[in-house]
Amino acid sequence: MEIFWVIVALVGVALIAAAIIIARSNRQLPPAPGPEAIEGPEPAEAPEPASKPPAEAEPKAETEVEPEPSVPAVDVPEAPKSRFARLRRRLASSNNALARALGSLLSVDRIDEETWDDFEATLISSDLGVGPTTELTEALRKELSIDGVSDPGRAREVLRSELLRLVDPSMDRSLKLDSPEGQPAVVMVVGVNGTGKTTTVGKLARVLVAEDKTVLLGAADTFRAAAAEQLATWGERVGVETVRGDEGADPASVAFDAVAKGSEIGVDVVLVDTAGRLHTKVGLMDELGKVKRVIEKKAPVGEVLLVLDATTGQNGMTQARIFAEVVDVTGIVLTKLDGSAKGGIVVQVQRELGVPVKLIGLGEGVDDLAPFDPEGFVAGILGE
């Protein structure tokens, strides 16, 4: 019996010891290697994006965005005085047929009749016109000996002064912007579509704004769908309002409304863009004549500026003659003198119409319209 109790006690002790060992080993076991353990590195990577710049960048972006609304809403156009000097080089690159003619005249060993004929032909091809070409050739012939070049420097000086005389620095090229008390000055801009008329009105608004004038635009070219929109965009850039009618509206009534509004709000100048459909001379005369007459019920038209594309040469001259017959042109705007134009047209158009070139367009940039400067022009076409 005693042995029985001893065995029972030993088994009991063994059971208790086993239970203790199992309990202990359970507590010490490392976590079972399972999927969680394999994916373990992820949580280590996860903080990385969390610590990336966005959290920092965001507050920065907020502070950078804020000042933007204070950026001025309108452009500050370039002062007209500095424009010609800036743009003069564009004349040299395109219009130096006259300089080329002189260069080839001075480079020959012996100037004979054939040389003079070539010289004259080059001058005519530069759109100078026959009369001015003859005058210029005669003046130069006097300066150069029949046996050859007497003094190239002197010849260049003669060409410069003769050209200047032909361009006529004595002409009054200022815009007539004086108007009766309480009325705006009115400038009508006419010309065939495609010559750069609407662009010129937009650029001219900038010239006037740069001279501290208040301006209103009248979009009386109601035939070309995009013209009014184009004009309004030009105006907006310099804080100038545009009066426009519906597409196909009567141009005269839009022009009248513009001038009436200009009087009402007291602007200095109203610029009126017109349609330039050269369908028939009679049609054109009726249209432009009517626009002018209707405007003048409100305020006198001080300037009628004719826009001509200088690259069109003799075609441009034909347009000039027709417009001059149907409306009283007071000034010429020659556009695209930066292109393939030959500068001689300045002389020819002034001679034929007896009206000065007042402004020239020398590029597609917003401030590439400049008051015409005879000395700068001559220097430009001589490539100086």
Residue 301 CB, shortest distance to ligand GDP, in Å, is: 19
Nearest Cα to Cα of residue 211 among 175, 265, 260: 175
Backbone angles phi, psi at 79, to 5 degrees: -60, 135
Please identify, using beta-carbon distances, which residue of 122 and 195 lies nearer to ligand GDP.
195
Helices (H), the chain: 2-28, 35-38, 41-45, 47-51, 54-65, 80-95, 97-107, 113-125, 130-143, 152-167, 197-210, 227-237, 251-265, 281-295, 313-326, 345-353, 374-381
Binding site for ligand GDP (CB under 6 A): 191, 193-199, 335-336, 338-339, 361-364, 368
Least Cβ distance, residue 332 to ligand GDP (angstroms): 13
**Which three-class secondary structure state does DSSP give residue 205?**
helix
Q: Shortest distance, CB of residue 198 to ligand GDP, whole angstroms?
A: 3
**CB of 102 or CB of 254, closer to ligand GDP:** 254
Q: Name the minimum Å distance from CB 357 to ligand GDP.
A: 13
Run of H or E including 306? strand 301-309
Q: Which is nearer to ligand GDP, 96 or 195 (CB)?
A: 195
Q: Which is nearer to ligand GDP, 259 or 362 (CB)?
A: 362
Instruction: Fill in the DSSP letter of residue 221.
Output: -
Smallest gap, in angstroms, from Cβ of residue 274 to ligand GDP?
10
Dist CA 68 CA 66 (whole Å): 6
The residue (of 150 and 233) whose beta carbon lies closer to ligand GDP is 233
Considering the complex, what minimum distance in angstroms separates the CB of residue 200 from ligand GDP? 6
Q: For ligand GDP, which is the closer residue by CB, 336 or 358?
A: 336
Helices 113-125 and 130-143: angle between axes, nearest 10 degrees? 140
Smallest Cα–Cα separation from 320: which of 287, 347, 292?
Answer: 347
Cβ proximity to ligand GDP: between 257 and 338 the closer is 338
Distance CA 354, CA 332 (A): 10
Whole-angstrom Cα distance, residue 154 to residue 175?
36
Contacts of 251 (CB under 8 A, 6+ apart): 220, 221, 222, 223, 274, 275, 287, 290, 291
- Please state the closest distance from residue 365 (CB atom) to ligand GDP, in A: 9
Beta strand pairing call for 301-309 and 185-190: parallel
Q: Which residue is nearest to ligand GDP (CB)?
A: 361
- Opening angle at CA 268, ends 266 and 271, nearest 5: 110
The phi-psi region of residue 200 (left if phi > 0; otherwise alpha if psi is between -120 and 50; otherwise beta) is: alpha
State the minimum distance, in angstroms, from the CB of residue 73 to ligand GDP: 23
Q: Which is nearer to ligand GDP, 197 or 298 (CB)?
A: 197
